Structures are given as structure tokens and as C-alpha cells.
Amino acid sequence: MSITKNVALLASLFLCGCVVTVNDKVLVGKNRVVAWESKLVIAHRGASGYLPEHTIAAKAMAYAQGADYIEQDLVMTRDGEVVVLHDHHLDTVTDVRDVFPQRARADGRYYVIDFTLAELRQLAVSERFQEIDGERSAVFEDRFPLMQSSFGISTFAEEIELIQGLNKSTGRPVGIYPEIKSPAFHREEGKDISAAVLDILSTYGYTTMQDKVFLQCFDPFELQRIHAELLPAMNMAVPLVQLLGSGPDYEPLLTDEGLQQVAAYADGIGPSMFLIVGQESRASDLATTDLVERAHGLGLAVHPYTFRNDQLPAFVDDYEQLLRIYLDDLDVDGVFTDFPDLTVAFLESNL
């Protein structure tokens, strides 16, 4: 990280509002977390470059690699449990087709919401694959082999207990970075996933802006609901992050007016990395946007996704160059990465 740049950012924050430092966080304005003394390494689905995503083992590995925050994608089961899985489908990371062949919906997919937790416990979790005519092939071929060893689906509570237990045994304060997946889908299925997630956060002590948590979601209406209704009703306040995709749906949020609206309920944004540097950029001619600058101007932290050593954008030759552009040159506040080890090593060598 650039110490100079950060001091400048802190100074500008200090000029624009009340600044309080709690641990390594800097709070501003309405108790908002807007900047950190160091860049954050957010383990995207765990150390998913090396072990099957969202398994307890992948989280333990991410923890050992020095991640500051570990991500949990959250979906709900038929019996109302919150489990850690990237999709509300099961068929690309488990053996559900083999164990429950009759349980697909008309679209051929197997939905988490159609299974109880006890049923999900019977599934083996695999490195991510695509399946065509019964043939499975790896999405990332240099990663952990498909359908090996023994991994299962975990609940959100179990993963929090892992991280809090490790915080005790290591003495490090690693945070959680839960994402509420598809709240509208869950509502149609009769579940209020946001309320369920906040309940669990409250149970495990994540209730204030000082706690080591970011709560993320793609759905701006749901985040506004969480900010305006759910959190106040539970007497909670946790940092919220608006995720931003690169499709047309997100264009209104990316305008000056849209971003101001985001800043009214969120404390950070989690944009696709290509909203910061255009995907079609060439190394000699980076199409850089002003998103980071505009977000920082509104007091929003910026945590782009997804930084992968084995899936580099065309505009860089290696992973270090990618990190240098985003973390040093463009000054984002942290990155979602499948490779926490390489990202920690970059930041440490860069001090």
C-alpha cells in the first residue's frame, strides 16, 4: 500500500467530518467505516484457488494464509437453515445428481431450498465443475481435483465458529464477509434470508460498526431495507457493501446520483474489477474509470472482485501487476481474491 496516499485520504476524511479510529478502522460521519490503515485481503469463498470453495478446509487455509476477511455466500435450506454455498443451486459443486437423482426441478437444476440441512449433510462437495452429457470437467483445471477427499456443506453458524475459534487460538482478529444471495428468490420461496442472516450475526456478536464484519448484497432494494428497517429494529449497525456487476442493471447505481444513493445506506462498494479498468483495456492503454475516486469522495470503501492468479485479465502479464494496478495505482481498499497467499505476499513485499 501507499502510506502517503492513505494519510492523504485520512486527512481528507478528517476535513469532511468526524473521524474516530477504532482498532485499525477509521470511522467517519454516521459511524461509517470508510478507510483502513491497511489494504484488506478478502478470501473469496476461502482459499478457493487451492481447495473446493466454501469448504471449512478452504476457510482454514485462507485463514492460515493471512486473509483479513473471509467470505461466506449464504443461501437457505427448506428447513430454514442458512448454509454457505455460492449458488442457490447444488449441481455444480456437489454430487447431488448421484445422491438425489429425482429431486431436480423442471429446469434440470437442484435447488438448495428444496433440501433440508440433514439432506445436504449427505452430499459430497467438490471443486467446481460443469457437467455436459454426464461428463464433468473442472471450471479451473489447475485447481484441486474433482470429487476428491471428503468435504461437506457447512452452516453459516459453523463457519463463524471456525473463524471465531481460530481468532481465539491464533490471537488474530479475522473478520467475516457474508453475502446475502438472491433475496428476491428466497422471498418468493417464503424465506426472509436477510432477517435470518442478521439473527445469526447478532447471536455471534456482530452488532456494531466496530465488529469485524461486512455484509454484502447485489440487490440495492434489500440493502436499503436492511439499512432502514432490519438493522434499526434489531438495534444493530454493521457495515454494508453494495455489490456492483458489469451488466446494464447496475448502470443507474454507477451514475453520480446513483452512487450518492448508495452512500446513503452503504459503507462500501464491491464492484467487478472491470468497472474500474475496462475489460478490453490493453497494457499500454488502460481504460481506467473514475469509480474509485468518486466512491472515495462519498466515503465509500471500494473492494473489487475477483482477483485470480489463474484467470488474469488480458491487460496484465501476471498477478502482481494486476494487484499493483488496483491496490497501488488506483488505490482500492481491498480485493476479493481466490489466492489470499499471493495477495498477502504482495502487500507485505510492498510495505
Site string for a copy of itself, 323-342 (x = CB under 8 A): ------------------x-
Q: Which amino acid is at 89?
A: H
Per rule CB under 8 A, count of chain residues that contact a copy of itself:
35
Examine residue 152 and tell whether it contacts a copy of itself (CB under 8 A): yes
Q: Could you say which of 155, 242, 337, 343 contacts a copy of itself (CB under 8 A)?
A: 155
Q: Could you say which of 36, 129, 144, 214 contacts a copy of itself (CB under 8 A)?
A: 144
Report the site for a copy of itself in 18-57 (rule: CB under 8 A).
47, 49-51, 56-57
Chain Cα centroid distance, residue 13: 25
State the nearest-atom distance from the C-beta of 177 to a copy of itself, in Å.
Answer: 18
Nearer to a copy of itself, 123 or 263 (CB): 123
User: Distance between CA 328 and CA 130 in Å, rounded?
Assistant: 36
State the nearest-atom distance from the C-beta of 340 to a copy of itself, in Å.
Answer: 9
Beta bridge partners of 70: 43, 176
Q: Which three cell numbers stand for residue 60?
A: 482454514
Write down the residue that cell numbers 479510529 correspond to.
Answer: 21
User: Distance between CA 220 and CA 143 in Å, rounded?
Assistant: 33
Chain Cα centroid distance, residue 103: 29
Examine residue 142 and tell whether it contacts a copy of itself (CB under 8 A): yes
- Is the C-alpha dihedral spanning 351, 345, 159, 127 positive or negative? positive
Question: Is the separation of the CB atoms in 240 and 213 below 8 Å?
Answer: no
Residues 6+ apart with CB under 8 A from 189: 76, 113
Report the site for a copy of itself in 58-117 (rule: CB under 8 A).
58-61, 63-65
Q: Is 86 a catalytic residue?
A: yes
Q: Which residues are catalytic?
A: 44, 86
Footprint on this chain of a copy of itself (rule: CB under 8 A) = 47, 49-51, 56-61, 63-65, 142-145, 148-152, 154-155, 158-159, 161-162, 164-166, 168-170, 341
